[in-house]
Amino acid sequence: MKIQVSRQRALRLAAFLLAMPLAASPILTAPAHAQFGFGGIVYDPTNYAQNVLTAARSLEQINNQIRSLQNEAQSLINQGRNLASLPYSALQQLQQNVQRTQQLLQQAQNIAFDVQNVDRMFQQQYGRVSFSATDAKLVTDARTRWQNTVGGLQDAMRVQAGVVTNIDTNREQMSSLVSQSQGAQGALQATQAGNQLLALQSQQLSDLIAVISANGRAAALTEAERATAADQGREQRRRFLTPGAGYQPGNAQMFGNGN
């Protein structure tokens, strides 16, 4: 059924129809095949409703795509954070601490921390006392062993002082690394901060090993000196108790020329 109206009236009616929901407009109820014509323009309510539903579905799909793109963008941002490297490194300072302790160990006096050097020095200075050695040689060897012992004690104290100096530096590094770990943006930064904390613990363990080694060296030198001194004491006692030629009388001269 077609109704011919003026163009102005048709426009007002079309605006009214577009503004009202279809379900709330009983006057628009018509058969599915009904069409209305206004000034040569054909209006099909069924087609209009399908177009509205199609547009709504298209809008929903666009919204879903937008949300999907937002999720992908957020995922990329999170991946970027997880792959971001930690902007702080304590490696250089830790290496300097280790090198400082190593230098103190390398400055060990007389008997160094070297297997071949230890074997050679012990054979020369802490071996069995020779029966044919002169008294002067025995005294010289005893003084050398005493110097080794004193030097070992001094070296141990120097290593201890160096390790104590590292404590303050280690405290600062530990505080910085914990702060970096707590403020990490992603998994990689947290992992790197944890690895550097493990490196700090390794450096502290190396300092502890250095102190134990220096103290052990000093104690070993002390015991070696004591053992060799006991052996030398037995030799000197043997010489003292060994019967000699005895007293031989001779001419004594007193008061210059005897005048």
CB-based burial of residue 50 (10 Å sphere; 0-12 exposed, 13-18 middle, 19+ buried)? exposed
Rounded alpha-carbon distances, angstroms, from residue 138 to 32, 47, 120, 124, 231: 129, 123, 19, 12, 11
Where do the domains of the chain lie?
7-83, 91-239
Residues 1-9 have a mean pLDDT of 45
Amino acid at 55: A
Q: What are phi and psi of 28, to 5 degrees?
A: -95, -5
User: Do residues 105 and 159 touch, judged by C-beta distance below 8 A?
Assistant: yes
Structure pTM? 0.64
pLDDT for res 51: 84
Classify 90 as helix, strand or coil: coil
Sheet strands (E) in the chain: 36-38, 41-43
For the ranges 14-18, 230-234, 251-255, the lowest mean pLDDT is seen at 14-18
pLDDT class of 49 with cuts at 50, 70, 90: confident
Residue bearing tokens 């399908």:
50
**Residue-wise burial string across 144-154, b where 16 or more C-beta atoms lie within 10 A, e elsewhere:** bbeebbbbbbe
Rounded Cα distance, 109 and 153, in Å? 10
Please write the tens of the pLDDT for every residue from 199-214.
Answer: 999 999 999 999 999 9
Give the per-residue pLDDT at 245: 57
Tens of pLDDT, residue by residue over 75-130, are 887 777 777 888 889 989 999 999 999 999 999 998 988 899 899 988 889 988 88
Least-confidence region, from 5-9, 25-29, 151-155: 25-29
Q: How far apart are CA 148 and CA 126, in angstroms?
A: 11
Average pLDDT, the chain: 81
